[in-house]
Structure 1
Amino acid sequence: MKGHARNLMTAPVKSVSPETPLSEIALLFAEAHIGGVPVTSSEGRVLGMISQDDIMSALLAGRSLHTRADEVMTSPVHTVDEFDLTDEVMQLFRKHRIHHLPVVREQRLLGIITPADVIRFLAQDIDEPPRVG
């Protein structure tokens, strides 16, 4: 399949700082209808990822909604360069069983790719007309 990560990604992407409390992240997920966000430094470098699963695990472990993102985020996180090939992106999703893949340019957050983005790209790339009957 032809294409690069930048063809698949959603941008701009929402992110949170390491100090962001879980309560704010949970509200962001609900309002933006998303399931995960990168945790970034003030320079835009990806430090980790935090997902709905991370928040639920933290709460089940007795953590407070005041807990900071950097206390429960997944780190290190897999990222792709904007010019990585689409096939490489799909292989990372499968190999690491992840659902959010930050796209970077010179180590700074540029966008994010989810499996839904890959499927959307594939569906748009179909040149054949649908079969009838």
Structure 2
Amino acid sequence: MKVTKPVSKIMTRNVVTVDINADLSDACLLFLTHKIRHLPVVKDDSMVGLLSYNDVLRLSFGESYDDKSEIDDTVFKLLQVEQIMVTDPIKIHANCSIRKAAKIMINNKFHALPVIEKHKVVGMISTTDLLKYLITD
């Protein structure tokens, strides 16, 4: 059965990460440049947190001001990734079954999960990865 295979078969490899000391403007640039919505946060190559695009959107302060982008840029340069990242995200191992990963995502209303081995990020699995896999023969 397809869902008993490990997530390593369908996960996205070559994961874009962000350093724990980066500011939010750096993270936003990574989100936009790579067209991604989740960034594992690393310190010395070990995963220490997770930052989502939605986390950053919640910090958008300029709604009631004329020059919203200027306000957001200033705030995003003042804040570091470490200040808003999820510090103990749920993560899975590469040998985790696709079924188990899907259940974790459904039960927690997640759209992606980092895949780790020995504290290092080796992949990400997203709802898009799951759907692509399910529709293939």
Which TM bucket (shorter chain)? 0.7 to 0.9
Determine whether 1:22 maps to 2:34.
no
Query: Any idea what SS the aligned residue of 1:50 has?
Result: strand
> What is the Cα deviation at residue 2 of structure 1?
2.7
Total equivalences in the alignment: 124
Q: Which of 74, 96, 105 does residue 84 from structure 1 map onto?
A: 96
Show the counterpart of 2:38.
Answer: 36
Amino acid at match of 2:43: S
Give how far 1:65 is off. 0.8
Please give the TM-score of this superposition, normalised by the length of structure 1. 0.86
Which sections of structure 2, spanning at least 5 residues, go unmatched?
63-70
Amino acid across the alignment from 1:56: L
User: Could you list the runs of 5+ residues in structure 1 that have no partner in the other structure?
Assistant: 127-133
**Take 1:17 and 1:25, find their aligned partners in 2: how far apart are those partners?**
9
Distance in 1 of aligned mates of 2:40 and 2:4:
26
Q: Percent identity?
A: 19
Aligned with 1:77: secondary structure? coil
Q: CA shift at 1:93, angstroms? A: 0.4
CA RMSD of aligned residues (A): 1.6
Query: Alignment partner of 1:58: what SS?
Result: coil
Offset at residue 25 of structure 1 (A): 1.0
